[in-house]
Amino acid sequence: MINKVEICGVNTSKLPVLNEKEMNRLLLELKNGNIHSREKFIKGNLRLVLSVIQRFNNRGENVDDLFQVGCIGLIKAIDNFDLSQNVKFSTYAVPMIIGEIRRYLRDNNSIRVSRSLRDIAYRALQVRDRLVNKNNKEPTISQIAKELKIPREEVVFALDAIQDPISLFEPIYHDGGDAIYVMDQISDNKNTDRKWAENISIKEAMKKLNSREKLILNLRFFNGKTQMEVAEEIGISQAQVSRLEKSALKHMRKYV
C-alpha cells in the first residue's frame, strides 16, 4: 500500500502541498462560503489522509476504501474546525481522520459486535472523556460504570469487544536491528523445556515396549480410542486390553 501511486484515481505523487500562509488564507475563504477555496484546501490536505491510512496498512483492507473514508474524516474536520482556537489544522484533523477510519473498521469487522454492546462501549468512551476533562486524570472502570449505572463487568466486556484486532506479526519495537513483534511478547505455556523433555522421555520409553503394547497405547492415548474400540480393532477382549495397557504403563514408568 505504501508504494501505491494511484489511489481512487488520484495520483498521490502529484498531490499539492500548502504552506501555512496558504492554509490560513484558504480556511478563511472557505469559512466564508468560497467553494473553489474549499476544493483547493481539501486537495491540499490529501497527503495528510495518505499519511494517516499508512498506519492501517497491516489490516488487509482495500487502500482505496480507507482513502475514501479518510477523506470523509478530513471533510468533517474542515467543517468543524474553529479558526478562533490557536491550533494547527493538521493537529485537529488527524484524530478526526483516524476516528473515521476506526469506525469504518469496527463496523466492517468480520467479528460482529452487537449494536447494544457497541452502544455501551461508545457511551463509556464519552463518559471517560468527560471525566478526564473534569478531573484531569484517567477514570477507573468502576467510576465509568457508576456514571452509566450498569455493572462494571458489562463496561469491561463492551470496551474489549470494540478493540481492533492486531496481527501477531505487528512490530512493537525497532531499534535499527531486528524488529520485536507482538508474538515475541506472548509466553507459551505449552511448549516449555519441561514439556519437550517429557515428550522425549516418553518416546524413549515407548521404544522399550513390544509391538502390541505400542499399538494399544498409541490407539488409546494418541488416537483417543476407548478400550472397547481397541479390543475390537486388534481382535482381543477388553479385559486383555486393560491388562496390557496397565502393564505397558507400569513398564514405561521405569524410563520416564
Cβ-proximal residues to 22 (8 Å cutoff; 6+ apart), any chain: 44
Please tell me the predicted confidence (pLDDT) of residue 2: 45
pLDDT digits (tens, 9 = 90+) for 195-237: 667 777 888 888 888 999 999 988 988 888 898 999 999 899 9
Q: Which residue has the cell 490529501?
A: 46
pLDDT by residue (tens digit) across 119-139?
888 899 899 988 888 888 889
DSSP label of 169: T
Q: What is the pLDDT of residues 137-183, one digit of tens each?
A: 889 999 999 999 999 888 888 888 777 666 666 666 655 556 666 66
More confident residue, 9 or 55: 55
CATH topology of domain 115-161: Arc Repressor Mutant, subunit A (1.10.10)
Phi/psi for 45 (5° steps) reads -115, 10
DSSP 42-90: HHHTHHHHHHHHGGGTTS---HHHHHHHHHHHHHHHHHH--TTSS--HH
> Which part of the chain is CATH 1.10.10.10?
115-161, 193-252
pTM above 0.85, yes or no: no
Per DSSP, helices labelled H in 136-237 are 141-148, 152-161, 193-206, 211-217, 227-234
Q: In terms of CATH architecture, what is 193-252?
A: Orthogonal Bundle (1.10)
